[in-house]
Structure 1
Amino acid sequence: MFWRNMLLFNSHVDVTVTFLLLLFLSLFGIGSSSAAPFYIDTYCPKNASYNSNVTFETNLKVLLATLVSNVSMSGFYYTFMGLGTTSVANGQFLCRGDASAATCQDCIATAAKEITRLCPNKTESIIWYDECTLYFTNHYFSRTGIEPRAMLSDDRNISASDLDSFNRTLFSLLNDLAEEAANSQSAKKFATGQSRFDGSSPQRTVYALAECAPTETSTQCEECLKNAISTLPSCCGGKQGARALLAHCDVRYELFLFYNTSGTSDPYKSKQLSWSERYKIIEGITQGISYLHEHSRLKVIHRDLKPSNVLLDSNMNPKISDFGMARIVAIDQYQGRTNRIVGTYGYMSPEYAMHGQFSEKSDVFSFGVIVLEIISAKRNSRSAFPDHDDLLSYAWEQWMDEAPLNIFDQSIKAEFCDHSEVVKCIQIGLLCVQEKPDDRPKMAQVISYLNSSITELPLPKKPINSRQSGIVQKIAVGESSSGSTPSINEMSVY
């Protein structure tokens, strides 16, 4: 449905049929096999309806499509469409902090579809799932108020003999988590924890989480969470599990472990992957992009390839995701051109960033950046290389100094990997980020390179001046009308 909406609202899309891309997605296995989101409740106010506000309805449709297309590892996005007091549509989604990117994507796509079905002709609504919350409004929702809200509780009660000990333990834990989430130094204001309580029955454990939208200040977040906690006694006192969900925050507790306990940020995990796992990921991404470019009736140019748009399953098999910026072109069409530069800083090819020219070779450039990031476990940013412009310039310098392994992630012990295989992948990465599109290989050639020895590969040429490219890309992204913003480049495990 999202791609259909994009066809309706984006005049730059090159084809009028939608089933082709859906076919690509199903054949290639792109997407998630996760269970359907668990629906909790909706807020559909009776006094917030519209009958003939065509402008607001149009803004709302574009808003929901934009929310769906901006799911990333941050698990949060806020934007608005339109101007004025009655026609503007503000919207936001927040995925649970321990949800995978695939789970988040599924939940937001479902929420965007269901919210207008369950709450038709409304100027504001909220839909809550176990995995995410999504809302829209032509006004605003209080950042700390307890209305509107959704409450859900377990039917089972804590035994009377255990209730005092349970309540003391529970509310102490929830208040601690509220402070922890509010003062989180990460991109997410999310905290989980557990605590044991005593009683006449054997000692038991209560598990809880607290979460705020990342845009809340520490004070707003803590106030919102503590207000949510304050609603639990009247609604769910003595219950074995309950949750309070507001517009900007939520809390939950259970007597069973209901959240992901890994406690490790994604793919930080990327730095712990073995070389064989990384090589497998590179091979899988290569096959995925090659399918989109070469093995379909119409060629798909992704235009926003980056690690956060690569989903990894439990077996480290990669899937290409997020086709919100993709373009479909005829199989014999070499390139296209657009006046709307969309994408992510650090991954856009120079010809696309500067002239709006996109082709399969612009995807190849993005792929080359991803390969070098996988090898080095570092971002393509100047901050990661104080003495260089970015990862590309550093990799090129090491290549010219005949020391390419200097860019290899030092957390992997050298004796546990095939050095020639690493060097080959570095060479492939550099071949893909060459300045001129014609110098870059096609993905079919990359597949061949992965099966060849180093001596059979062509020698790369110097990438574009990284400082110049970086300035141009930053300007292009900043002036884009797509609403795209630079995103965290991390692969997502689902």
Structure 2
Amino acid sequence: MFSSSVSERTILVPILAVVATQLLFIHSVASVNDTNAYLYHKCLEKDGKYKSKSLYEKNLNSLISNTSVKDYLYGVYGYRPDTVYMVIQCRGDAYGSRCDTCLSTAYSELRKRCPMNKGAIVWFDQCLLRISPTTFINEMDLKNKFYMYNMKKVRDPASFNAKTKALLTKLTKEATRKGSERSPAQEYYEPGDMKLDGKMKLYGMVQCTRLIWNTDCKKCLDTIIGELPNCCDGKEGGRVVSGSCNFRYEIYPFLDTQR
């Protein structure tokens, strides 16, 4: 049963729902447009484990092997109690073969980092992959979340922070705008830029998974944009990434605008 509906150093800060301590480590981004760097993962221990060669594992492998995705897919395979639910959501500029390749990469990484976990999430630069033994459609996920930011600081943090929030808020409005002129690949996704002092520009992007409603997408983005002071105060670049939505901003282009 199946259905589908510039190199910079950055800091990654996982936000754990239960554990109070925060983990910090250095993450390197190789290039602007072509990188598909691993970002973070979360093994959802509450969903339990499956055994090797079990029906759950067979259903999971069947779901992945029979899936070809261009930009987004929500899939279901098998019957209770061994049903597997999956979502793959690619970044708005990483569609087609690039998205399909990201699925293969993400699944391989998920199996390595969360072996035998029935539920898990992995984030890459170009896609998010989540598997679960229970449905999570129409559920806004802000619990599974992390921050990334550039270690370099701007000269005027207050002004820069205000402009960053203004840009991301504007992009949120566009991303959640309903209209037949928006293609499926661009739904809940919006890139944009803003002029800064001199020749500098601020580049931004917001995106939600297409699992949630339009109103929840706006709520999700408004919530994480509100965390800018905690995430990226005065930093040249940063992002907040959750299971349902994410934003990123930089002072250099980081999206493939030629696609």
TM-score by length of 1: 0.42
* Paired position in structure 2 for 1:258: 254
Q: Does 1:224 pair with 2:220?
A: yes
Which secondary structure does the structure 2 equivalent of 1:259 belong to?
A: coil
- TM alignment of 1:267-306, pairs within 5 A: none
Which secondary structure does the structure 2 equivalent of 1:92 belong to?
A: strand
C-alpha spacing 1:248/1:227, structure 2 compared with 1 (3 Å): same
- TM alignment of 1:87-236, pairs within 5 A: 87-141=82-136, 143-159=139-155, 162-185=156-179, 186=182, 187=184, 188-198=187-197, 202=198, 204-236=200-232
Structure 1: segments with no counterpart, 5+ residues:
1-33, 263-492
- Residues 420-456 of structure 1: CA deviation (Å, up to 9, x unaligned): xxxxxxxxxxxxxxxxxxxxxxxxxxxxxxxxxxxxx
Task: Letter of the 2:223 partner, please give it.
Answer: N
C-alpha spacing 1:77/1:117, structure 2 compared with 1 (3 Å): same
Structure number with higher helix proportion: 1
Q: Does 1:70 pair with 2:77?
A: no
C-alpha spacing 1:259/1:219, structure 2 compared with 1 (3 Å): same
Q: In structure 2, how many angstroms separate the alpha carbons of the residues matched to 1:217 and 1:113?
A: 30
Q: In structure 2, how many angstroms separate the alpha carbons of the residues matched to 1:229 and 1:119?
A: 29
Query: Quick one: percent identity of the two aligned structures?
Result: 27
Choose 126-135 or 181-190, whichever is displaced more: 181-190
Q: In structure 2, how many angstroms separate the alpha carbons of the residues matched to 1:183 and 1:225?
A: 13
- TM alignment of 1:337-486, pairs within 5 A: none
**Aligned-residue offset at 1:152:** 1.5
Query: Does the 8 Å CA contact 1:44/1:122 hold for their aligned counterparts?
Result: yes
Q: In structure 1, how many angstroms separate the alpha carbons of the residues matched to 2:78 and 2:50?
A: 18
**Aligned-residue offset at 1:166:** 0.6
Which secondary structure does the structure 1 equivalent of 2:164 belong to?
A: helix
**Aligned-residue offset at 1:110:** 0.6
Alignment: residue pair count:
220
* Paired position in structure 2 for 1:45: 44
Structure number with higher strand proportion: 2
* Paired position in structure 2 for 1:307: none
**Aligned-residue offset at 1:35:** 5.5
C-alpha spacing 1:206/1:91, structure 2 compared with 1 (3 Å): same
Query: Does the 8 Å CA contact 2:189/2:208 hold for their aligned counterparts?
Result: yes
- TM alignment of 1:302-313, pairs within 5 A: none
Query: Does the 8 Å CA contact 2:50/2:56 hold for their aligned counterparts?
Result: no
Task: Letter of the 2:191 partner, please give it.
Answer: T
**Aligned-residue offset at 1:137:** 0.9
Which secondary structure does the structure 1 equivalent of 2:47 belong to?
A: coil
Q: In structure 2, how many angstroms separate the alpha carbons of the residues matched to 1:148 and 1:215?
A: 15
* Paired position in structure 2 for 1:381: none
C-alpha spacing 1:76/1:179, structure 2 compared with 1 (3 Å): same
Query: Does the 8 Å CA contact 1:36/1:106 hold for their aligned counterparts?
Result: no
RMSD: 2.2
- Residues 73-116 of structure 1: CA deviation (Å, up to 9, x unaligned): xx0000111232x4221101011111242321221111122111
Q: Does 1:60 pair with 2:60?
A: yes
Q: In structure 2, how many angstroms separate the alpha carbons of the residues matched to 1:175 and 1:260?
A: 22
Which secondary structure does the structure 2 equivalent of 1:208 belong to?
A: strand
Q: In structure 1, how many angstroms separate the alpha carbons of the residues matched to 2:196 and 2:154?
A: 12
Q: In structure 2, how many angstroms separate the alpha carbons of the residues matched to 1:258 and 1:167?
A: 19
C-alpha spacing 1:51/1:214, structure 2 compared with 1 (3 Å): closer
* Paired position in structure 2 for 1:424: none
**Aligned-residue offset at 1:156:** 1.2
Choose 226-235 or 162-171, whichever is displaced more: 226-235
- Residues 291-318 of structure 1: CA deviation (Å, up to 9, x unaligned): xxxxxxxxxxxxxxxxxxxxxxxxxxxx
Q: In structure 2, how many angstroms separate the alpha carbons of the residues matched to 1:195 and 1:172?
A: 9
Which secondary structure does the structure 2 equivalent of 1:167 belong to?
A: helix
Q: In structure 2, how many angstroms separate the alpha carbons of the residues matched to 1:36 and 1:52?
A: 34
Which structure has the greater CA radius of gyration?
Answer: 1
Moved over 4 A (4+): none
**Aligned-residue offset at 1:203:** 5.9
- Residues 363-396 of structure 1: CA deviation (Å, up to 9, x unaligned): xxxxxxxxxxxxxxxxxxxxxxxxxxxxxxxxxx
Task: Letter of the 2:139 partner, please give it.
Answer: R
Task: Letter of the 1:132 partner, please give it.
Answer: C
Task: Letter of the 2:68 partner, please give it.
Answer: N
C-alpha spacing 1:239/1:136, structure 2 compared with 1 (3 Å): same
Q: In structure 1, how many angstroms separate the alpha carbons of the residues matched to 2:50 and 2:257?
A: 47
Task: Letter of the 1:177 partner, please give it.
Answer: L
